[in-house]
């Protein structure tokens, strides 16, 4: 579509309905303007391009299933109303030109040279890895121009990188693969890029939650074909808000901390001749406890116990939501947070133990919730630094935000909503 046609489309009633689904009624005007500004910026940078399309991919919230996906466990997650948005058009070349307004980046990639840099870090390597992932999976790639902006909080556990990955997957799928790929295909391509071009031992959770959309539970027992189920549940109907609190980025390099979590769980599985914890049982571990402790170490054992119990909690939370037992759901969120803190041990890094923004935020939140006799909280995402999640009655949300921002800094608490759509081409969803 040409820019004039696209701007006209954004003012249509169908567009407003889609905007309401993505951002809520209160977000229609702001995001319509955001999209229009993005189109104008694209036209200035790429004046020769026509037939431009709009794309959006959300960040995600992890509700339960902390560090389970990489050992083929279960998670409960949802896409959120913060997203990465882009305008793109094919350019009929073998180059991809990407401008990121948010991060002030402007780079070009030659699709015939997708070798990663020696450092294997940064947006360019991640982007090259995505294109290589398409090729490795037998899909097509081609040249295009893209202008991108995002409001997904960076380095804060809401998957800003996966949101970007899924946005580009949607572009490449739409332009060069006739939209044949599904969310699982997208997720595997994103995982490939992070594993191979970033050296990051990530699973599929972030990518799946960003690609699928809505509130979903995922069983990764067979990671090549994860079982995904959408859960029809509206938190607003229970008069509760989901609030993410950014406690600040840790100053330590956390790569080793993140990598140790999956590797230590896998070390426990190795004792039994298996690769991941999903291939053994909690009973196996307990019956062979002393030998496993000697083989894998005590923290590894605790992390494996967290894995088994967290899988049970995901099942319990899904059942509670389906059956309308909201208080039981909240209770399991609290249990999940306690397990992450005590057994998984990812609330702070031992290499910088005096820096404990996560645990400070959790302690303060627990005090607040105990006084109010309501709500639940837990660590959110990978941990060691970053964000916590709080589920709280709407009438307490403003008071809580004021309270927690006094400690964590103004503007660091975000009221989220679950959006029903994952990574999409905006035009393709109009009228659906």
CB 126 within 8 A of CB 165: yes
Phi-psi region of 203 (alpha: psi -120 to 50; beta: other; left: phi over 0): beta
Distance CA 4, CA 31 (A): 18
Which pLDDT value is given to residue 251? 61
pLDDT of residue 156: 63
pLDDT average per 10 residues of sequence, the chain (432 residues): 85 95 93 96 91 95 92 94 96 97 96 94 96 98 98 78 96 97 94 92 84 93 90 84 87 83 97 98 98 98 98 97 95 96 95 93 98 96 90 96 96 90 94 65
For 3-232+419-429, give the CATH class: alpha beta
Q: Which residues, in sequence order, are bridge partners of residue 60?
A: 79
Nearest partner of 146 among 78, 76, 204, 99, judged by Cα: 99
**CB burial class (10 A; 0-12, 13-18, 19+) of residue 73?**
buried
The single residue listed with the structure tokens 């960076």 is 154
> How far apart are the C-alpha atoms of 117 and 243, rounded to whole Å?
38
pTM of the model: 0.86
- Tell me the CB-side half-sphere exposure of residue 161, using CA atoms within 13 A: 25
Question: Do 378 and 340 touch, CB atoms closer than 8 A?
Answer: yes
Q: Give yes or no for a contact between 101 and 154, defined as CB atoms under 8 angstroms apart.
A: no
Q: How many residues does the chain have?
A: 432
Structure tokens at 183: 């969310």
Residues with Cβ within 8 Å of residue 360, at least 6 apart in sequence: 247, 407
Write down the pLDDT at residue 84: 97
Region of 378 please: left (phi>0), alpha (psi -120 to 50) or beta.
beta
Which of 362, 395, 360 lies closest to 376 in space, CA to CA?
Answer: 362
Euclidean distance between CA atoms 385 and 239, whole angstroms: 29
Chain position carrying tokens 């702001």: 30
**Domain ranges for the chain:** 3-232+419-429, 235-416
Q: Which residues pair with 107 in a beta bridge?
A: 98
Determine contact, residues 51/2, Cβ cutoff 8 Å: yes
Rounded to whole angstroms, the Cα distance separating 161 from 150 reads 10
Tokens representing 149 are 């902006």
**How many angstroms separate the Cα of 54 from the Cα of each of 82, 175, 214, 315?**
16, 12, 20, 37
For residue 178, CA distances in Å to 113, 196, 393 come to 24, 26, 44
What is the CATH superfamily name and number for domain 235-416?
A: GHMP kinase, C-terminal domain (3.30.70.890)
pLDDT digits over 365-423, tens only? 999 999 999 999 999 988 898 899 999 999 999 999 999 999 999 999 988 888 999 99
């Amino acid at each position: 579509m040409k820019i004039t046609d696209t701007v006209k489309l954004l003012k249509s009633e169908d567009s407003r309905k889609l905007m309401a689904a993505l951002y809520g009624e209160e977000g229609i005007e702001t995001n319509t303007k955001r999209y229009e500004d993005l189109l104008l910026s694209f036209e200035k940078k790429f004046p020769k391009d026509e037939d431009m399309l709009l794309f959006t991919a959300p960040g995600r919230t992890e509700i339960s299933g902390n560090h389970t996906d990489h050992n083929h466990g279960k998670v409960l997650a949802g896409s959120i109303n913060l997203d990465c948005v882009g305008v793109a058009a094919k350019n009929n070349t073998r180059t991809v030109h990407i401008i990121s307004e948010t991060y002030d980046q402007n780079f070009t990639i030659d699709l015939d040279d997708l070798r990663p840099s020696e450092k294997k870090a940064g947006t360019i390597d991640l982007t090259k890895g995505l294109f290589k992932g398409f090729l490795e999976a037998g899909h097509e790639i081609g040249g295009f121009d893209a202008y991108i902006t995002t409001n997904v909080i960076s380095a804060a556990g809401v998957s800003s990188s996966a949101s970007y990955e899924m946005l580009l997957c949607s572009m490449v799928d739409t332009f060069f693969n006739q939209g044949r790929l599904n969310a699982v295909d997208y997720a595997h391509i994103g995982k490939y890029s992070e594993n191979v071009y970033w050296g990051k031992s990530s699973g599929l959770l972030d990518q799946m939650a960003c690609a699928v959309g809505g509130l979903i539970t995922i069983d990764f027992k067979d990671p090549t074909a994860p079982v995904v189920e959408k859960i029809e549940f509206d938190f607003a109907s229970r008069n509760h808000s989901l609030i993410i609190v950014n406690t600040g980025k840790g100053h330590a390099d956390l790569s080793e901390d993140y990598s140790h979590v999956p590797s230590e769980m896998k070390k426990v599985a190795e004792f039994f001749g298996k690769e991941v914890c999903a291939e053994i049982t909690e009973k196996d571990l307990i019956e062979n406890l002393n030998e496993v402790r000697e083989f894998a170490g005590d923290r590894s054992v605790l992390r494996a116990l967290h894995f088994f119990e967290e899988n049970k909690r995901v099942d319990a939370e899904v059942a509670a939501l389906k059956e309308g037992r909201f208080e039981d759901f909240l209770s399991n969120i609290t249990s999940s947070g306690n397990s992450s803190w005590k057994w998984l041990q990812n609330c702070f890094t031992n290499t910088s133990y005096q820096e404990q923004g996560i645990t400070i935020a959790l302690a303060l939140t627990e005090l607040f919730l105990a006084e109010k006799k309501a709500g639940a909280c837990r660590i959110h995402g990978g941990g060691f630094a970053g964000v916590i999640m709080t589920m709280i009655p709407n009438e307490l949300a403003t008071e809580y935000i004021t309270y927690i921002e006094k400690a964590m800094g103004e503007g660091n608490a975000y009221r989220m909503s679950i959006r029903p759509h994952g990574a999409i081409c905006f035009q393709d969803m109009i009228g659906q």
